[in-house]
Every structure is written in structure tokens, then in C-alpha cells.
Structure 1
């Protein structure tokens, strides 16, 4: 629902920020191998095992005398090796990430060889029992050598793929950190300007503003990550309460938020720079102030965010050069978080300026408690 909300007393803001601000966490160890527990990973492994079985049958019998019986035997053997080895490596994945690379590689290879040797030994023993002949150790050694070569190739491929994914993730994190760090000095300078304007006029209010700013910076300086929409809105509301300490009744707010979207993940510090522009280039330039409207809804499979503020004389903020940095940084951060696509539009409509952001929703996100799509 839509309702104008005056700023709340500032005495409890700092404590609420301490309760809701995300804590910085130690970065996890870079993984040595991909996650082999997922459905897609298991499907790929099964497919690789079947292709390997086909290659072995073609190498032994050729295409003219292709043996489906031999293909079934090779396929069964390959899957009995691949699936248990993948399950063991999946369980060992957190420990492998903490080991040096050479030790993690040796451990992974040893696990696969142990499974391979067990399967091959059982298979050779069963064949020898059925045929009544002694165990063929040379055949067993040859099969183990062939399996070890294939296992080494597959493990090397998996390792290279995971290291490439680790590198891409690190580059993406560094890019997001750089984009967010650009906004921090901008936010700091504007906040200090607000504080300076209050010191001579209202020292008590300036003192409260210092307390609220310290708590707000704690949240803004946290590690860049995805947070829930509820956390992002809480941070945005507290920033607006700080601005209300400076502007007083000149700043009016209207929030229209679909509460069923509260758990939707969004990038941290998404709304604050957009709201900062709405205050600095809208309400603060008008003698009588104005109303800032924030709307959060769901449109189909997208999360729709819009921020609307009044304009002074109908002049667009971008024409004064003050709005471009925040919008461009926000656009680049969204491009890093949502490579599959997003939308960010900003334009003046008469005496109002409107910024619209559309983010993709994953299936199942935004489901209301009563079953109504948010």
C-alpha cells in the first residue's frame, strides 16, 4: 500500500542498522574441482562414460563388427567407476580446496584409482569365476593403465574448468568492489556536507547524525554481495531518515513495496545512490521540498524498482552532470551481477524525474505467503 511516511526519531536507527547490516565474512577457499554433486554435472559424467565406452568398442571391434554386448559391459564398468568416484570427490571437495594443488591433485587421482582398481578387480574375479580360468593379471594391469590415463585426462579437464571459473569469479568480485568503492567517497562527502550544515544550526541533531552515519557506513563498507530486498530497503529507509534530519519537513516519502518480495536477492547498495540523487538533485533544490516515491513490484518474471522525485525548473539532473556517475556505476554493477540481462532507464517527465530498474527473478522467487505471485 502507499502511504506518506515521515522520518522516524533517530535514537534507534544506529541499533537497528547494527542488527540488520550484513557482516563481513572470510572469503572461502578457491575450489580445486567443480561441484560433482549437481544434476548437470552427473549428467555430463554419465555422458562422458558412455562416449568412452563407445570409443573402446570401436577400437576393439571396429564399426563393421560393432558389439552391443561389449558396449553394455564397457558402459556398466565405466558407470561403476565414474559415479562412486564422483560421489567421493564431491564429499572431499571442501577438504581438497584447503590442500596445496599438488596434494589435492594427487588425492583426487588416488581416489579415482582406488575406485577403478576395486571395480576392475571385482570384474576380473567374476569373469575368472564364470570361466573357470585363473585371474589374468596382465589384462587387469592393462585395464588399470587405460583407466588411469582416462581418469587423468578427465581430472585435468575438470581442474582447468574450475580454475577458469575461479578466475572469472575473482575478476567479477574485483570489478564489483571497484564500482562500489567509487560511490563511497561520493556518499561520504555529501554526508559530511549535511553534517556541516547542521553543526551551527542544531548541534544535538548533528550529534545524532554522526551516530547514524557511523552505523550506516558500517553497512555500506561491508563486503559487496547480494542481500535480500528487505535488507536493502531497510538500509535505504535509514539513509532517508538521515537526510530527513537535515531537510526536516521538506522531505516527504512514499513507499509502495510488495512485501512478498522481501526475500528476493538484490545487489547491496543498489537503492542508496539512486535515492541520494533524488534528494540532492530534486528535493534539496526546491524551497518547499517535495515527495520522493519508491515503488517495488513484480512484473511477470522481473523485479521492478522505481524512484521518482520532483525536478527544480524541469531540468534533468544529468544535464547538470551530477547524476551521471551514480547511474553509470549502478548500470555497470547490474551488468556484472546480471549478465543474463537487466534494464535501467532514467528520464524526466514534466516536473518529475523517474528512474526504473528491472531485474530478472529466478523461478519461485517472490511467491507470496498466500500463494499469490508477488
Structure 2
């Protein structure tokens, strides 16, 4: 692979070179900045005591055209800028702004003299002032935009790495437990074991996929596959009640967010009870928030005062449960920000988890 190809790939993978200057919010900001710059140039050129609206309008007309045309051309060049090395992309962007400044400065001088009925002549000093001013301001502005975009790229990369790390902690846990479930069925119920392998394959594909938001219905499908596999192992001891309100088609959720919570509900709420119990899943929409409620029995295990090898098992189980909940909480906040919530409570012999987050 050539050095140029490697540099191109590195630049493409690192993200955009400049922000999207054609976005409505960016255009509005550029217009406001250009207007403030025109006011500043009018004050410097005429002095505060002699500044007039005519002078501000004249500078504003020229500066707005330079800024907006530069932004439009940089937007058109954005795919190429993202492929070039940063030094080359920066030099081309800088040269483009200076070229546009030169063109509009010459055009402005010609229009002004034509409007006043004068012969078209070149004011080299005025042209030089415009180019020097543009060189300073363009250098500062492009450098600021570049650093701002690189910070955004870094934040996005860190966010994706964080989400991948959080999701990778889920995979071994539920996969090993699922394999144990299948192993317990092979000798006594091979047909059920085959069905469990099919359900596991769907979960396996989901766990190996890139961490992202998926449709809520797809996540519920995976959860049903998992619970069906556990019901093959636990039989009538595991009862599941679903209450899912009609959801909009664009409702999404981080992949494999609910499955580990249901796994904890089975492991900590159903398995310790000889008679089993009921897991309730309720999903409802409240305004622009999606609320998910999961309930399972809360066994009351006696406190062991022995110092044998199994005395630490309940404590380790609680720690694992806490780690799983913290994992889910961090993934929610990574995707949806601080407005996402995961709360837990024990009430009436039931353990209750409530998830709420904004629907995008």
C-alpha cells in the first residue's frame, strides 16, 4: 500500500476535516460573524466618531459575499478535503479563501467606480489591505474550525470506543450461560436443545454486530428468543408477561440493552426459587420519553455466617448484578445523554427496574 493511500485512509477514518458549513445553524452563525466583522472594519476604517450606516453596509456587502461564497465552495470541496492530508487540505482551504477575497475585492472596486461614474482603476493599497486582513482572519477562522471539528471527531471516536467496550462485557456472560443451558438439554431433550441453538444463533449474531441503535421491535425479538431458550431449561418455573403498547416505527434502543437485564431477572429472581416466578415486561411511551419496566421476584436469602468456600457466592452475585446495571446505565447515557435514566427498587417482594430515555 502506498504512503498516499495510507494517508488518505487515515484522514478518512479520522473524520471530517472541517464542520459542515452549509448546515442552517452554521450559515446563520457565519452571517452573524460576518456582520460583526463588517461593523468592526467600518469602525477601524472610519473611526468610531465618523462611522455611518452607509460604511457598515458597504463593508457588510463585501464581507458577506466573501464569507458565504467561501463557505459554499468549502462545502462542495468537503469530500475531497476529507481525503487529503491535513496540511494539504488546510493549504487549499486557505488559498481558496484568499482567492475569493481577491476576486470580490477587484469586483468591488470596479462596481464602486462604475457606480460613481469613474474610470475603472486598480487601488493596489486597498487590495493589499483586503488580502492582509483576509489572510489573518482566514487563518484564525480556519484553524478554529479545524480544531473544533477534530475535537468533535475525537469525542465521537471515544464515544464509539466506550460503547464497544461496554457491549463487549455483555457477550461472554450471556453466551456462556446460554451454552450451559443448551448443554443441560442435549441428553434429556435434544429437540429442545436444537431449538435453543437456533435462538442462540440469533443472539450470537446480535452480540457480534457493531454496537449501535436498533429498532425496538428487533431488541424485543432477541429478548423473546432468549426467554424462550430459558423456558426450555426452566419449564413452568419461568413465566413471562408482556405488556407492550404500540410504539412508533422510529423507536430505537441500544442493541442488547434489555437482554442482560432479563438474564439477571432469570438468574437472580427465578432460579433461586424452587417454584419459580413471573417476569413482567412493560413498555410504554410518555410524551417523547420511552419507559421500560422490568419486574421479577426478589428472593429473601438468609445471611450465611459460615466461612466456607460458598459463603462469598451471594456477595459475588450481587456485585455482578450491580456491574450489569452500571453497564446498562453507562450505555444509555452514552447514546442518549444525561436525560436517560435507569432506576431500581424493591417493592412487595419484587425487584423493579425502570428505564427511560428520549426517543430520537
TM-score (norm 2): 0.86
Choose which of 348, 351, 359 in structure 2 pairs with 1:350: 348
Are 2:74 and 1:76 equivalent residues in the alignment? no
Map Cα deviations across residues 133-173 of structure 1 (whole Å, 9 max, x no partner). 32323422331232232122111110000001111111111
Which residue of 1 is the match for residue 185 of structure 2? Answer: 198
Are 2:115 and 1:123 equivalent residues in the alignment? no
Per the TM alignment, residue 67 of structure 1 is displaced from its structure 2 partner at its CA by: 2.1
Choose which of 82, 87, 92 in structure 2 pairs with 1:107: 92
Distance 1:192 1:93, change over 3 A: same
CA radius of gyration, larger in: 2
CA distance in 2, matches of 1:170, 1:93: 20
Are 2:154 and 1:167 equivalent residues in the alignment? yes
Choose which of 205, 208, 211 in structure 2 pairs with 1:218: 205
CA distance in 1, matches of 2:338, 2:254: 15
* Bigger shift: residues 143-152 or 303-312: 143-152
Choose which of 270, 276, 281 in structure 2 pairs with 1:283: 270
Per the TM alignment, residue 295 of structure 1 is displaced from its structure 2 partner at its CA by: 0.9
Q: Give 5+ residue unaligned stretches, structure 2.
A: 1-11, 303-313
Distance 1:28 1:236, change over 3 A: farther
Matches within 5 A, 1:84-95: 84-95=69-80
Per the TM alignment, residue 29 of structure 1 is displaced from its structure 2 partner at its CA by: 5.3
Per the TM alignment, residue 294 of structure 1 is displaced from its structure 2 partner at its CA by: 1.0
Q: Is residue 101–residue 130 contact of structure 2 (8 Å, CA) maintained in 1?
A: no
* Bigger shift: residues 351-360 or 132-141: 132-141
Q: Which has the higher contact order (CA 8 A, sep 6+)?
A: 1
Q: Give 5+ residue unaligned stretches, structure 1.
A: 1-26, 363-374
Per the TM alignment, residue 359 of structure 1 is displaced from its structure 2 partner at its CA by: 0.7
SS of structure 1 residue aligned to 2:345: strand
Matches within 5 A, 1:1-374: 30-131=15-116, 132-133=118-119, 134-313=121-300, 320-321=317-318, 322-362=320-360
Per the TM alignment, residue 28 of structure 1 is displaced from its structure 2 partner at its CA by: 5.8
Per the TM alignment, residue 318 of structure 1 is displaced from its structure 2 partner at its CA by: 8.1
CA distance in 2, matches of 1:62, 1:318: 76
Q: Is residue 344–residue 351 contact of structure 2 (8 Å, CA) maintained in 1?
A: yes
Map Cα deviations across residues 270-312 of structure 1 (whole Å, 9 max, x no partner). 1111111111112223333322111111223321111111233
CA distance in 1, matches of 2:180, 2:334: 31
CA distance in 1, matches of 2:344, 2:338: 21
Per the TM alignment, residue 344 of structure 1 is displaced from its structure 2 partner at its CA by: 1.0
RMSD of aligned C-alpha atoms? 2.3
TM-score (norm 1): 0.83
CA distance in 2, matches of 1:185, 1:164: 33
* Bigger shift: residues 109-118 or 299-308: 109-118
CA distance in 1, matches of 2:108, 2:207: 61
Per the TM alignment, residue 31 of structure 1 is displaced from its structure 2 partner at its CA by: 0.6
Q: May I ask how many residue pairs the two structures share in their alignment?
A: 336
